[in-house]
Amino acid sequence: MKGWQAHGEAVDRLLASYGRIAPEDRIRLAKKTSNLFRPRQGNDSPGLDVSGLDGVIAIDTEAQTADVQGICTYEQLVAETLAHGFIPYVVPQLRTITLGGAVTGLGIESTSFRSGLPHESVLEMDILTGSGEVVTAAPEGDHADLFEAFPNSYGSLGYATRLRIKLEKVPPFVTLRHVQVADAAAAVKAIEVIAETGEWHGERVDGLDGTAFSPDEIYLTLAHFTDIPQTVSDYTGQQIYYRSIQTRETDALTMNDYIWRWDTDWFWCSGAFGAQNPWVRKVWPTKWRRSDVYHRLVGLDEKIGLSKVLDKVKKVPGRERVIQDVEVPVDRLPEFLEWFDAEVGMRPVWLCPLRTTRPWPVYPLTPGETYVNVGFWGTVEVPAGSPEGMVNRKIEDFVHSLGGHKSLYSEAFYDQETFEQMYGGEVLAAARGRYDPEGRLSTLYEKAVRNS
């Protein structure tokens, strides 16, 4: 636990580093790790010193809250809260996602059908604004406008130094039911029932997500949190979690292993590095079977170009990276998957239902309505000389036509007018006018589309 004195000292270092950045330079974080999948233009100016802003400050078990620093990873956060029998209401799937990153960049997990997105359990935030002031933003009060505009702003309005979040009391075990449904239409019906009632055939559902292997092989995984001791599976070793979904109707995990069930193999993406091969897996150290390790391998490949060499050998005409999460209204899910199979052709895909609890202007989903996050991560072959982002542009257009939205952690190609309409342009502009009048921070469009 960091404690309040250490937190105050870390904030002082942050403010001092802000003062060392030249007025003509854009403000950015001096942060080595990232869970973004879009290129960023180089910047030689010194970044903000966030050292010491990477932990839990305090946990109040009576109030069921935690004060957490903005660069604290969920891995660290869960380790400390779970020791007290609590977890955040929504824990994104990957260990190195930070709390501040999930709130300003959105996050999602299997509890989102009942608890919304990570920012919806935030009670207040201390935010360093573009003007160099740390303000406390809450749903009511002088800075309520910043509190509302901050989610999905990706650092374009500032950086959270402290967040007070609500915690959920949880038992030590999770039982799973992998329910196979006939098709996407059947998945929609089941999702709607569970979202409305919180139950499936009389049993409480605490977590809900799905895996679509093909049009007629779709599973919904129903999680039930329980105090009853269980014989649990271990998917941190030779066994692979996503493959178990196809072979087991029921399963059980510890709460900690349930939270990180997707991280060990980066969902199913570890297969691209050979980490699912039994012989490779035996010699691949467990400590290196993590999403951040695979992410670094992707970055290494981008530098040395090994995959491009292999594509030349295989005579692949062109390849486009398609790493996206999109939200579509639940009743449009079958239409999207049918289109996706015809136009993109990537399986499996991840399905995660969600409901927001109130309007959020920079990611405007209708409160109370059920959406499904569809996640798909990989590459597709494209004809030689294809326009940049050809497949991703098609996805953007079709999701927009369905009344959905796309997360902005990866590449985006919207024109500015469409982007401003979809992502709260007027609200962001008003907040920037108040909290960053000199334009020290890049705008959301500059970050998400222009990659600056």
Output the pLDDT for position 84.
98
**Residues in Cβ contact with 438 at an 8 Å cutoff, skipping those fewer than 6 apart:** 23, 130, 131
Give counts: helices (H), strands (E), the chain: 16, 16
Q: Answer for the pair 186, 261: CB distance below 8 angstroms, yes or no.
A: no
**Residues in Cβ contact with 150 at an 8 Å cutoff, skipping those fewer than 6 apart:** 103, 104, 119, 125, 127, 137, 157, 158, 160, 362
> Which stretches in the chain have pLDDT values below 70?
31-45, 309, 311
How would DSSP label each residue in 15-37?
HHHHHTS-TTSPP-B--S----B
Q: Which strands form 250-254's sheet, in the order they lie side by side?
A: 250-254, 173-181, 217-226, 207-214, 349-354, 371-381, 319-329, 405-406
Beta bridge partners of 65: 60, 166
> In the chain, what are the domains?
4-170+429-448 (3.30.465.10), 173-262 (no CATH), 305-413 (3.30.70)
Cis upstream peptide for 348 (omega within 30°): yes
Q: Could you tell me which of 51, 49, 41 has the C-alpha nearest to residue 72?
A: 51
Q: In the chain, what is the greatest distance between 2 CA atoms, to the nearest angstrom? A: 62
Output the pLDDT for position 39.
61
119: DSSP letter:
G
What's the pLDDT tens digit per position in 394-426?
A: 999 999 999 999 999 999 999 999 999 999 999
Q: Could you tell me which of 36, 19, 84, 32 has the C-alpha nearest to residue 58?
A: 84
d(CA 90, CA 108): 7
What is the b/e burial string over 411-439, where b = at least 16 CB atoms within 10 angstroms of the residue's CB? bbbbeeeebbebbbbebbeebbeebbeee
**How many Cβ atoms sit within 10 Å of the Cβ of residue 284?**
17
Output the pLDDT for position 333.
98
Q: Could you tell me which of 36, 29, 102 has the C-alpha nearest to residue 410?
A: 36
Give CA separation, 241 vs 3, 109, 205, in Å.
37, 16, 20
